[in-house]
Structure 1
Amino acid sequence: MAKFGDFNKVCETVALTVCPLVGSEEGIEPTCYSRNVEIAGTLIFQPATIIIHVIALIMTSIMIYHIKSKYTAVGRKEIVMFFYLYMMVTFLELLLVSGIIPTASKVYPYFTAAHVALITATFWCLLLNGFVGFQFAEDGTPLSLWSIRISSLVIFAGVFFLSFATFLSKAGFSPLNPVALWIVLYVFNGAALVIYVVLQIVLVLNTLDDRWPLGDIVFGISFYVIGQVILYLFSVRICDTAKHYIDGLFFGTICTLLAVMMVYKYWDSITKEDLEFSVGSKQNVWEVKELLGEDELAYSNQGGYGGGMNSKEKFNSYWTIY
């Protein structure tokens, strides 16, 4: 049974990036983990999970492109920050879990501290995006954008210091008792996610006539919860059954990606673009037709606007002028 603030049970189940740096001087080794492969003389861990990370980077790039293409959508600039942060988290996790940055490397604690800090900043950014729809500050304004940017940077810096101090036994923190880091990862981030979900349910029920976005919320939270359950409860069983080819980290990464995609799907479903000011490669041409007055109609019939002349007469008239 996992204890409050204890990484031992967690790290024995799944190989998180923090596991080699907490619990003891040698870290905590998982009971079962995905086998490695050798590429050009370099051992690469979690090969199947790396593939999912690459897919996640590609999918996130596509989502960012579509968000930026909705030039007048509400909260466009705010929500894209969340996807940028998720992309950075994914990239750093790819470097750490694959062994591209070895656990024995001197820079591993720095990259892991940055990874943990980015995870927390991502949850914080998502939480603040939950308030955008309530228009406490006009979306897209410097107040709205910089409040998210600066506060996310402060969260990143604070968690980075906490993580680094915990890993290297600085400022009274210790890897043998990483309670503060555990609280940040599981309590603070979990609370941010719950508050965001509650805010979006309230937003849909109170301000929207359409209830379909609730389905996106349900699917998103379901994917995330399923991923966490697989990650922390069934990772060892999956690893043993699959003969060490994959473990719970593989399915946890997939479910997290699906949850992030549902965040995009939800945001897209509740935002409407103002077509009058939209910009795109294909523009709709609106033609306004008005009834001609009697004088204009008579003038047209007499050929004033080219009316009453066949194509041959128009052609001859054109060259007569010249």
Structure 2
Amino acid sequence: MATPDYSFQFGKFNYICNNVMLTLCPLVGTDDGIEPVCYSRNVRLAETLIFQPSTLIIHLIALIMTAIMIYHIRSKYTAVGRKEIIMFFYLYMLVTIMDLLLISGIIPTASNLYPYFTGVHLGLISATFWCLLLNGFVGFQFAEDGTPLSLWSIRLSSFVVFAAVTFVSIATFNGMSPFDKKNPIALWIVFFIFNGAALLIYVILQIVLVVNTLDDRWPLGDIIFGIVFFATGQVILYVFSVQICNFAKHYIDGLFFGTIATLLSVMMVYKYWDSITKEDLEFSVGSKQNVWEVKELLGEDEMGGNGGMYGQQHQGHGYGGGPSPAGGPYGQSNYYEERY
């Protein structure tokens, strides 16, 4: 049998899987998959072999941190884009759960179900990137946030991406024509080009949004940190995994640091969203008492009409300072932290 070529080639995972253990590596390249040169040692727990134990701990931490971020997003009752961005974090949580089950060996590679779970895992990854991309358009208010048009366009299109990528993955693993597990070019394009393009477009959109609509440039720092974390993780994962594994005596490998970097980049997505959104305090549950106290201090003349101080303070402002296209009966028009 010919020895596989482990040099980097477009459309093949041979080089990558020779360096790091991805969930798809046992299913592509050769009939028996590709095993990395060096990988984290396993441990025996309750008569069960657990692979990548250190990475498993990071996955559990990621689930806890994601749950905390989701809680804080849900608590910002009137923040614009809240329902849209929370879908991204739910998808990331599902990706983490699938990664945990597959990487740790809880679902063994020898199982007949492994290719199908891996297909779902890859489908969820692409759907997560797609959902993030669509969230990048929310700030431009092409459709009013929180409406059925905005929410269901993201949900349905993300499901379509998930279903399409899952089908391509499973068809590739099972060698269904015209897909070939030894030359998985379609899966390679989806995994790197499609997902990478979605992330790149999202970043560009957010930079344009901050530069054109915000006086404050601090959110650019969140974007930059997120890019640095993600890029660093990818380089460690695909380039330096073997060196890290040998240096750490097989206790950890590049997957450990790649998982940490991915979690940090997702946390920066939350930090960025939180920094550019604000609640309308008039309708914030925890601030009602303070709002009424302010009203009691105002004179009757100031309270009446749109010309009064209170009326001027609570008029909707758009991204450029004019009337907001998203203004509604509840005054939820401020998407960005405006400086007065």
TM > 0.5: yes
How many pairs does the alignment contain?
292
1:166 counterpart (137, 152, 172): 172
Match of 1:311 in 2: none
- Map 1:143-162 to 2 at 5 A: 143-162=149-168
Specify the code of the residue in structure 2 equivalent to 1:95.
L
Distance in 2 of aligned mates of 1:156 and 1:32: 31
Match of 2:235 in 1: 229
Does the alignment pair 1:133 with 2:136?
no
Match of 2:93 in 1: 87
Q: CA deviation at 1:170?
A: 1.2
Distance in 1 of aligned mates of 2:279 and 2:268: 19
1:34 counterpart (40, 51, 57): 40
Match of 2:183 in 1: 177
Computing the radius of gyration from Cα coordinates, the structure with the larger value is 1
When residues 249 and 283 of structure 1 are mapped into structure 2, their CA distance, relative to the original with a 3 A threshold, is: farther
- Map 1:235-314 to 2 at 5 A: 235-280=241-286, 283-284=289-290, 286-287=292-293, 288-289=296-297
Aligned with 1:280: secondary structure? helix
Match of 2:127 in 1: 121
For residues 213-245 of structure 1, the C-alpha deviation after alignment (integer angstroms, 9 at most, x for no partner) is 000000000000000000001000000000000
Aligned with 2:292: secondary structure? coil
Distance in 2 of aligned mates of 1:286 and 1:280: 12
Q: CA deviation at 1:282?
A: 8.0
Distance in 2 of aligned mates of 1:62 and 1:274: 22
State the TM-score, normalized to the length of structure 1.
0.89
Aligned with 1:157: secondary structure? helix
Q: CA deviation at 1:281?
A: 8.4
Distance in 1 of aligned mates of 2:233 and 2:297: 57
State the TM-score, normalized to the length of structure 2.
0.84
For residues 160-179 of structure 1, the C-alpha deviation after alignment (integer angstroms, 9 at most, x for no partner) is 00000000011321101100
Specify the code of the residue in structure 2 equivalent to 1:56.
A
- Map 1:29-108 to 2 at 5 A: 29-108=35-114
Distance in 2 of aligned mates of 1:282 and 1:68: 18
Match of 2:222 in 1: 216
Match of 2:15 in 1: 9
Distance in 1 of aligned mates of 2:272 and 2:299: 45
When residues 255 and 43 of structure 1 are mapped into structure 2, their CA distance, relative to the original with a 3 A threshold, is: same
- Contact 2:108 2:114 (8 Å CA) reproduced: yes
Distance in 1 of aligned mates of 2:286 and 2:111: 48
Q: CA deviation at 1:279?
A: 1.7
Structure 1 stretches lacking a partner, 5+ long: 293-322
When residues 252 and 283 of structure 1 are mapped into structure 2, their CA distance, relative to the original with a 3 A threshold, is: farther
Distance in 2 of aligned mates of 1:91 and 1:210: 37
Match of 1:296 in 2: none
Aligned with 2:61: secondary structure? helix
When residues 290 and 93 of structure 1 are mapped into structure 2, their CA distance, relative to the original with a 3 A threshold, is: closer
For residues 182-215 of structure 1, the C-alpha deviation after alignment (integer angstroms, 9 at most, x for no partner) is 0000000000000000000000000111100000
Q: CA deviation at 1:286?
A: 3.1
Specify the code of the residue in structure 2 equivalent to 1:247.
D
Does the alignment pair 1:187 with 2:193?
yes
Q: CA deviation at 1:151?
A: 0.1
When residues 291 and 101 of structure 1 are mapped into structure 2, their CA distance, relative to the original with a 3 A threshold, is: closer
Q: CA deviation at 1:289?
A: 3.6
When residues 241 and 278 of structure 1 are mapped into structure 2, their CA distance, relative to the original with a 3 A threshold, is: same
Specify the code of the residue in structure 1 equivalent to 2:86.
V
Specify the code of the residue in structure 1 equivalent to 2:146.
G
Aligned with 2:65: secondary structure? helix
Q: CA deviation at 1:273?
A: 0.6
For residues 65-114 of structure 1, the C-alpha deviation after alignment (integer angstroms, 9 at most, x for no partner) is 00000011010000000000000000000000000000000000010000
CA RMSD of aligned residues (A): 1.3
Match of 1:18 in 2: 24
- Contact 2:281 2:288 (8 Å CA) reproduced: no
